Amino acid sequence: MRYKIEIRSIWEFGQRKDENGNPHQEDSLFPAHGKSQPEDRVFILCDGMGGHAAGEVASATVCEAMSKSLLPQKEVYSDKDIATAVTDAYDTLDTIDSHSEGKSKMGTTMTCLVLHEGGATIAHMGDSRVYHIRPGKEREDTKILFQTRDHSLVNDLVAIGEITPEEAKTHPRKNVITRALQPHVENRQRADVKTTVDVKPGDWFYLCSDGMLEQMDDSTIRFIFSEATGDIDSKVEMLTQATRENRDNHTAFLIHILEVEDPIHVKEEPSDVLPPLMGTIEDDPQTTRKNDLDEDKSTEIDLTSEDTNNSGLHEKHAINPIIRLRIIGLLLLAIVIVFSGVYFAKTFFTKPAEKEEPAKTEQKIEKRKPRKKSPAPKQTPKKEVIQKEIAEKEYKIDSLQKMSGEEITAQIAALKSDTNKLNKQLQQILAQEEDE
């Protein structure tokens, strides 16, 4: 696949100021703002964090290191090429970070787009985003084919059902992200990587920092990138005006696909990625920070979960493991209750049928009658009670023998013993009746 494209970038300070009250920028772009050319195929956007002295250093360092790793341009890029570029960025951060005051907590998000003959490869870490948009005439006809999923605490909470998307927008920790590039971390975090070959003339790739999204939702993005809003310069103007009052630095690349030669015709399944939310950071034993413009304070960045365990907060979301265990436990408990109820009902509440067993016993005993041929004596009340108990116990023995287990075996033995004693008592009564 070969492309003809046009590119524009946005690089705004927002309301962010340094300690002297001057506009301060911690976002970085490669190619630098205003320096891109139609021949460029590698685009990197980073949103730095860690304070005035360090955020801009981290973002610029990652842009430079990854661009050196990915250039000169190759015909086809693999996921391994992206992983190598991320590793080079980590190595460079380790080298430049002296653990001096102000720089020891620096870090940065990262988004990357590489256009090559094998398709369009997208990589990201943190809460900066990449959108792949296919425009229609109006907002309703414009589709977001793909968007990266923020590595953020609130996004994970929404995914497991702890909070709603609306609650996430005002959550007190909505700026906490769960993945970023930082120096001197024990377990380096990986970038999410996706390659698509579903690239057509007219498509847009939109890379942006979270500052662009302070007052903008997906519906607004679909409107701006529809055909109704005009050419690329008109879209840049609309985005710039819409974000003019934003508090944070806001940076973006707009890449318009004009032509595609030798497209790859592969049917792709639609993405099932959850819609990302405004993201945020939490992932280092040392807390990393983004400046709070109103109070000149900072938002915590705690990357502990990712440093100690690569799965961290950002992994798995299909189902909360705790909820899964609770469901399994309830199912097992229900099964045990049902089987226990059936067993006790059969054993203790079902009346045995007064059938052949007692009669057969009588017949067998009557056959042993010696001497007298007189009619069998009338049964005494005690005799009837014993015969009924024998029938009940024999019924229980039959029921228990169909089951298994040490406790059941012991119960069978006890019932057999009781039955034998009752039979002996019955024989004594019959013998007394014959003597009479």
Q: Any residues with CB less than 8 A from the CB of 335 and at least 6 apart, and which?
A: none
398 vs 278, which has greater pLDDT? Answer: 398
pLDDT at site 183: 93
The domain limits of the chain are 2-318, 319-350, 352-435
Cβ atoms of 388 and 361 closer than 8 Å: no
pLDDT at site 70: 97
For residues 28-41, give the mean pLDDT: 96
Distance between CA 249 and CA 222 in Å, rounded?
A: 22
pLDDT at site 332: 77
384-407 burial, b for 16+ CB within 10 Å, e for fewer?
eebbebbbbbbbbbebbeeeeeee
292 pLDDT band, cuts 50/70/90, is very low
CATH superfamily of 2-318: PPM-type phosphatase domain (3.60.40.10)
Distance between CA 246 and CA 252 in Å, rounded?
A: 14
pLDDT at site 289: 37
Q: Which amino acid is at 433?
A: E
Q: Any residues with CB less than 8 A from the CB of 170 and at least 6 apart, and which?
A: none
For residues 283-310, give the mean pLDDT: 37
pLDDT at site 317: 36
Distance between CA 148 and CA 118 in Å, rounded?
A: 20
pLDDT tens readout for residues 194-217 = 999 999 999 999 999 999 998 899
| Among 80, 82, 79, residue whose Cα is nearest residue 112 | 82
Mean residue pLDDT of the chain comes to 78
For residues 127-131, give the mean pLDDT: 96
Distance between CA 329 and CA 307 in Å, rounded?
A: 32
How many residues make up the chain in this entry? 436
427 pLDDT band, cuts 50/70/90, is confident
**What does 105-117 look like in DSSP terms, one character per residue?**
T-EE-EEEEEEET
* pLDDT of residue 287 exceeding 60: no
pLDDT > 90 in the chain, percent: 47
Could you tell me the CA-to-CA distances from 33 to 37, 58, 123, 207 in Å, in that order?
11, 17, 20, 13
pTM recorded for the entire structure: 0.63
